[in-house]
Amino acid sequence: MQTQSLWEHTLTFFPQFLAALRERVAPDSTVAVIGASDGKFVLPLAAAGYRVVAIERDPVALHGGDVHLPGDSQARALGLIDRLKLEELHERVEVVEGDFLEDAPLGRHCSAVWTSCSWHYSANHHRPLAEFVDRMQRLVRPGGVFGAEFMMPVERRHHMTEHYTSPERLLPHFLGEWEVLLTLRTNEFTERAHVGRPNDHTHRMGLLMAARTSTFTDHF
């Protein structure tokens, strides 16, 4: 791709999710991306032949704008919408601008849903983590795939909120109608400074992927 995401070089388990899609989901199926940002995952999914519902609340991530870079510099960043047009992928992506916890398109079912390190942000702490997970699950049709990578607790303050979690703590949300396909975790690692984090910092990440095996009643 000619354009590049601001998050291009951050660590991700996305290749494992993409491999699960290729094994379990038909080409041209619809994949929802929660917290789509500027398209780090949306564009590769669309380029791979999937149709994508991209849900994002940040206007700069969607429409572009000025961002502060490490080293106290500033740059003009492309947003998701312009990146899609430049890569000629816009016809394969439906962009939903809104808060997933308030405006999630719960009336539709997709073949897969993916989120990357989104629910640990403080803007999502006013609602229980279980609600975020449940809303994602409700988007997945029978036979579909759920994928989430997330921050695990490292600092003391992380242990004070459930939104920094682990695969083990998430497993109770995937009983009954779900088959857990894969859980992974990293050791602590140092990530280079990036947008929003002006200094090098320590992370630990986890992954949970599951397949939905039966139907359920949507009570929203």
pLDDT digits (tens, 9 = 90+) for 113-168: 999 999 988 888 889 999 999 999 999 999 999 999 999 999 999 999 999 999 99
Q: Which of 5-9, 42-46, 59-63, 73-77 shows the lowest mean pLDDT across its residues?
A: 73-77
pLDDT digits (tens, 9 = 90+) for 176-197: 999 999 999 999 999 887 776 7
Please give the backbone phi and psi of residue 203, each rounded to the nearest 5 degrees, phi first. -130, 165
Identify the CATH homologous superfamily for domain 14-212.
Vaccinia Virus protein VP39 (3.40.50.150)
The answer to whether the beta carbons of residues 190 and 201 sit under 8 Å apart is yes
